[in-house]
Amino acid sequence: MTYKLNIFGVRHLSPGASYHLLKYLEEKKPKYILIEGPADATRLIPDIADRKVKPPIALLAYTTELPIETILYPFAAYSPEYQAICWGVKKKAKVRFVDLPTHIMLKLRQERNKEGNEGADAFYAFHNGLYDKVARSYDEDNYESYWERNFEHNLNDGSFREGLAFQSGQIREMVVDKEYESAPFDFSYNLIREAHMRREIQRVIDEGAKPEDIVVVVGAYHVSGIESDLPPMSDAELKDIPGSTSQLTLMPYSYLRLSSRTGYGAGNLAPYYFELMWKAIQQGRLGDLSAVYLSKVAKALRQKGDNASSASVIEGVRLANALTAMRGGSQPVLKDLHDAVITCFGGGELPPVAEAINRVDIGTAIGSLPEGVSQTPVQEDMNQELKRLKLTTYKSAVAQELSLDLRENLKVKTKEAAFIDLNRSTFLHRLKVLNIHFAEQIRVSQDSATWAEKWSLRWTPEVEIEIVEANLKGETLEIAAAFELKEQLNECTDVSLAARIIRQACECHLTNIFDNALSTLQQLLVDSNNFRETANAAHELSVLIQYGDLRQFNLEPLIPILQQLFLRSSLLLVDAASCDDKAASCIAQGINVMELISQQQYDVVDVETWQKQLEHLAWRDDLNTKLSGVAFSILLEHNLATEEDCAKEVSRRLSPGVPADLGAGWFEGLSGRNRYALLSRVSLWKELDKYVEQLDDDEFYRSVVFLRRAFGEFEPNQKNSIAELLGDIWGTGAELTAETLQGELSETEVEKLDELNDFDFEF
């Protein structure tokens, strides 16, 4: 490069870098500020500098075709790039991004993922190891402490820029050859980026700008690459680089995501702490940072009910100052503050204070953008819906519960207000279909399940990304949800999935998809021979029909289809029960679903046929015994089997001639339902006791394994009732027996039970 450039190398997300950069800008008063960042994002610079924007925010670029690839450029209030943008816009300088355009970056990332970069991990371990060596040479525990003590806390004029440029240049010289050998793709990617940045700098000069009127702001690692004598990228070279179809937008970001460094290697682990540092530097009160930090930790501990006094804060400040003095520092670094918290608040232990440390290190801040600022159509629709449905207060990093009553509110004047909870439900179900994780549905009690819903709402940067990705499916949430369900329907070969899509279409109020899914379900039903699939499909429709007209959806066409599904499932039951124990669990789930439908829709479905099939299954010996036990339990619930039948069947199933695993498996199925009813049948427990008593050692081991599995599902109070029953049967006293059986196992007993894990059943 034949001219001298004003280049300021920074560490991204560094308060110290921002402080020194602003002083540098005031000194140079540039007319042009060129910043490392995607060149096609220059148009968004006025939006970034908008006074209504509240950092943290991020530039998000994403491909519009598979495979989906994304790039994030986050900005906190203390990011040097963000401060340079705000300074330049305020001073009316021309501010531009000069890195590769996003459509090229995204394509190159896709290619890197295809080709792999086998040696890259080893290279980066070596590279990061150099930073660790620097820290150790300064007697620091880690590089972050070294960085903070030597750069963030050093506010002397000129020290930051020269020191960081020198260190980065030295490390680059030490790694460049190894990067070329071990991570050639990444090596080439850096060269291409720097060639493009040199091109953009040269373009500004060709437009008439003087080099002394330009300030270039880049990551310090790139300073020597930009100052090198290598030529800038030519028009032909730029044209030859492949690109992908992509979109670019601004989005709110969060400190939580910054702390995880997800998709962004230059993040920091304690964003809120660095915000506190930035404020302290701006106010000329860096020396107060320790007291501010420890006071906030103490407050977080007190909010949890822990004792964290002002005296402990004072002691913590003194300890942190002593620790930093031992290393010759001017101010405590975060590691010193952590040690002070652990000592003065945690009694020398981390666990009692870990949550408070994380809260003050990371924070819960989520940025925000004013309406109309760089929004994709779905983002705009999302914001409008949040406002229309009065859900903007739930746009928080802290989870909040929302209870909905889907019934019409007759106490309000407008239709919008009367059905606001129903409309909220429709909105949240559309998000669920689109895998936008803003809301998670919580189960409610069965007696109010048709008209009541409960959701947990929490806003994260991942939600923002998911909203942007939904733009690939449609310009509104309604259109995108319809597209998603239509795609699922086109690939649907499972009758239960088709039924679920029908249910989702109703919950999302998507009429067209509802009709199409109904047609698909009817076609699949003709050939359906899978008991579990048809049972689950029937359940989906049954739940929908319970809504009635609650969701303002015509559900009448579902009734004859539910009847067909229920009848088909009933007739498939016995054949399905000819299965092994592994498959039996799924079939048992289907039986429970069918029984629930028979109770909820008794006036619609053919309950008589269902119960006849249960009788066949319950009394037959050639089917899975666990399922026979489940069926017999249901017969008992409906008084379709008498007390005498129960005693005979227990005696028959648990006779000495029946293999132990079959007998215990039958009891496991029987005990899986309506346990309180079983507790009242003394004859059952007498037969079970007699059965166990007659077993030889080998059969006993087998039965214990299966019975232990069955009883493992019982509640503690149910186990206690069983123990009392056995006490009466044995004549050992109900209370004494319950106390003995419910007591803690001895070491020998635990060892005996552990031996059963290795028991050879010779199946």
Of residues 513 and 283, more confidence is placed in 283
Structural domain spans, the chain = 6-253, 271-362, 377-470, 557-758
Alpha carbon 763 to chain centroid distance? Answer: 41
Of the candidates 611, 608, 671, the one whose C-alpha atom is nearest the C-alpha of residue 635 is: 611
Give the type of residue at 233.
M
Q: Return the ∠ at Cα 721 (arms to 718 and 727), rounded to 5°.
A: 145
Of the CA atoms within 13 Å of residue 242, those in its CB half-sphere come to 8
Say how far apart CA 708 and CA 430 lie, in whole Å.
Answer: 44
Asked if 255 and 362 count as a contact pair (C-beta separation under 8 A), the reply is yes
Within a 10 A sphere around the Cβ of 680, how many other Cβ atoms? 9
Which three-class secondary structure string do you get for 596-651?
HHHHHCCCCCCHHHHHHHHHHHHHCCCCCHHHHHHHHHHHHHCCCCCHHHHHHHHH
Say how far apart CA 222 and CA 216 lie, in whole Å.
Answer: 11
Q: What is the DSSP string of 233-255?
A: PPHHHHHHS----EEEEEEE-BH
Strand order in the sheet with 439-442: 400-405, 452-457, 439-442
Q: What's the chain's length in residues?
A: 763
Provide the token pair at 289: 């940072």
pLDDT band at 474 (very low <50, low <70, confident <90, very high): confident
Give the type of residue at 756.
L
In this prediction, residues 26-41 reach a mean pLDDT of 97
In this prediction, residues 76-93 reach a mean pLDDT of 97
Give the type of residue at 617.
L
Paired with 63 in beta bridges are 246
Give the type of residue at 482.
A
Asked if 219 and 35 count as a contact pair (C-beta separation under 8 A), the reply is no
Strand order in the sheet with 70-75: 70-75, 57-63, 246-252
Asked if 222 and 9 count as a contact pair (C-beta separation under 8 A), the reply is yes
In this prediction, residues 439-451 reach a mean pLDDT of 75
Within 8 A by CB and 6+ apart from 662, the residues are 625, 653
Q: What percent of the chain has pLDDT over 90?
A: 58
Residue 105 reports pLDDT greater than 90: yes
- Tracing tokens 């989702």 back to the chain, one arrives at 504
Of the CA atoms within 13 Å of residue 465, those in its CB half-sphere come to 21
Q: Cα-atom radius of gyration of the chain, to the nearest Å?
A: 34
**478-508 tens-digit pLDDT:** 999 999 999 999 999 999 999 999 999 999 9
In this prediction, residues 353-364 reach a mean pLDDT of 93
**207-232 tens-digit pLDDT:** 999 999 999 999 999 999 999 999 99
Asked if 186 and 179 count as a contact pair (C-beta separation under 8 A), the reply is yes
> How high is the mean pLDDT of the chain?
88
350 vs 324, 343, 347, 353, 359, CA distance in Å? 20, 9, 8, 6, 14
3-class SS of residue 745? coil
Residue 43 reports pLDDT greater than 80: yes
Q: Which of 114-128, 324-338, 486-500 has the lowest mean pLDDT?
A: 114-128
Peptide bond into 56 cis (omega under 30): yes
Give the type of residue at 156.
N
Of the candidates 156, 137, 141, 147, the one whose C-alpha atom is nearest the C-alpha of residue 11 is: 147
Which three-class secondary structure string do you get for 691-732?
HHHCCCHHHHHHHHHHHHHHHCCCCHHHHHHHHHHHHHHHCC
CATH fold for domain 377-470: Arc Repressor Mutant, subunit A (1.10.10)
Q: What percent of the chain has pLDDT over 70?
A: 92
Of the candidates 507, 492, 442, 432, the one whose C-alpha atom is nearest the C-alpha of residue 463 is: 432
* Cα dihedral: 249, 252, 257, 259 (round 10): 110
- Tracing tokens 């092994």 back to the chain, one arrives at 580
The pLDDT value recorded for residue 762 is 45
The pLDDT value recorded for residue 471 is 80
3-class SS of residue 473? coil
Say how far apart CA 153 and CA 166 lie, in whole Å.
Answer: 18
Say how far apart CA 178 and CA 647 lie, in whole Å.
Answer: 80
pLDDT band at 262 (very low <50, low <70, confident <90, very high): very low
Q: Which of 112-121, 136-145, 239-248, 610-619 has the lowest mean pLDDT?
A: 112-121
Say how far apart CA 27 and CA 194 lie, in whole Å.
Answer: 26
Asked if 34 and 98 count as a contact pair (C-beta separation under 8 A), the reply is yes
- pTM greater than 0.75: no
Say how far apart CA 594 and CA 576 lie, in whole Å.
Answer: 14
Asked if 531 and 587 count as a contact pair (C-beta separation under 8 A), the reply is yes
Say how far apart CA 585 and CA 577 lie, in whole Å.
Answer: 10
pLDDT band at 116 (very low <50, low <70, confident <90, very high): low
Residue 380 reports pLDDT greater than 70: yes
The pLDDT value recorded for residue 261 is 47
